[in-house]
Amino acid sequence: MKFLALGDSFTEGVGDEDPLRPNQVRGWADRVAEVLCAEQDWQYANLAIRGKKIGQVINQQLDRGLALSPDLVSIYAGGNDILRPKVDITSLMTGYAGMVRRFRESGAKVLVFTGFDTADSALFAKTRPRTERYNELVREIAQEQGAFVADYWEWREFSDLRYWATDRLHMNAAGHTLMARKVLQLLGQQGIITPELAQRVTIPQLPEVPLASRSQKLREDLGWAREYLAPWVKRRLTGTSSGDLLEPKYPDYVRLT
């Protein structure tokens, strides 16, 4: 069996740092693949690269992914489109639907994701209506094409900031671990693997939440803005991406352990 992961930083694994891995990140897809490869006869490829938008995933990953003849495909793309100043979500999802359809026509099972609910984020809360529209279309496409949905929007556990990296945009190692367990549980529900395999992923104990004064919180926010927000805004203004010089982590099938 062959598992292929497509998308952006979410699937590449940004936030789950591992200097010994390609692109120096691990991520939920790697963690899922580790369980699959250890327990059953699976292989794994990952073409996801941070910063990619839906059109780029279609143009750069679709044909390459079809050539790998996967049995199971995960697709998450759209988060970077939603964050743009102007975007036509409905038009973008026409191409997304075509991508899902082509993999389904190839015989692959397809796993798609809804977007995360940013209601609690002061920075990204204004994009929530776009994400709601995106999620509505993802669910419609999944129903029409016979794909199944990992409903990130409904998984409220991820609202806990202890599952998020210091950049406040990506999950940390604990978050990616929880996501891996959620995906494995979903694969078990779909009959793709045995439900017991999800128990192979142990969620790490979360640290205590430190008490911070108002001045400490302000210093943290200013430091975050300098280190993460300013470079992110600069990339948006210059039309560059953090993934411009990167190659896919696993362009061909491997067996992770």
Ranges 61-75, 109-123, 156-170, most confident: 61-75
pLDDT given at position 83: 84
Tell me which residue of 77, 85, 74 sits closest to 36, measured CA to CA. Answer: 74
Compute how many other C-beta atoms are within 10 angstroms of the C-beta atom of residue 119.
Answer: 10
pLDDT given at position 232: 64
pLDDT tier for residue 244 given thresholds of 50, 70 and 90: confident
pLDDT given at position 1: 95
pLDDT given at position 218: 66
pLDDT given at position 236: 66
pLDDT tier for residue 210 given thresholds of 50, 70 and 90: low
pLDDT tier for residue 229 given thresholds of 50, 70 and 90: low
Tell me: pLDDT of 211 over 90. Answer: no
By residue range, what is the domain housing residue 215? 2-254
Tell me: pLDDT of 224 over 80. Answer: no
CATH number at residue 146: 3.40.50.1110
Mean pLDDT across 217-236: 66
209 vs 87: CA distance, rounded Å? 37
pLDDT given at position 124: 74
- The one-character DSSP state at 11 is H
Give 61's contacts (C-beta < 8 A, 6+ positions apart). 6, 7, 47, 48, 52
16 vs 197: CA distance, rounded Å? 22
Please, which residues bridge with residue 148 across strands? 111
15 vs 219: CA distance, rounded Å? 22
Tell me: pLDDT of 168 over 60. Answer: yes
pLDDT tier for residue 222 given thresholds of 50, 70 and 90: low
Q: Average pLDDT over the chain, rounded to whole?
A: 90
103 vs 98: CA distance, rounded Å? 9
- The one-character DSSP state at 211 is P
CB environment 143-162: b (16+ within 10 A), e (fewer)? eebebbbbebbeeeebeeee
Write out the E strands in 106-157.
109-113, 148-150
Mean pLDDT across 33-55: 94
What amino acid occupies position 236? R
Pseudo-torsion of CA 130, 233, 48, 96, nearest 10°?
30
pLDDT given at position 172: 96
Mean pLDDT across 183-212: 88
pLDDT tier for residue 221 given thresholds of 50, 70 and 90: low
User: Regarding predicted confidence, which is higher, 114 or 225?
Assistant: 114
Phi, psi of 213 (to 5 degrees): -75, 170
pLDDT given at position 209: 73
Mean pLDDT across 149-156: 96
95 vs 55: CA distance, rounded Å? 7
Mean pLDDT across 137-163: 96
pLDDT tier for residue 237 given thresholds of 50, 70 and 90: low
Give 137's contacts (C-beta < 8 A, 6+ positions apart). 89, 90, 93, 96, 97
pLDDT given at position 84: 85
The tally of domains found in the chain comes to 1
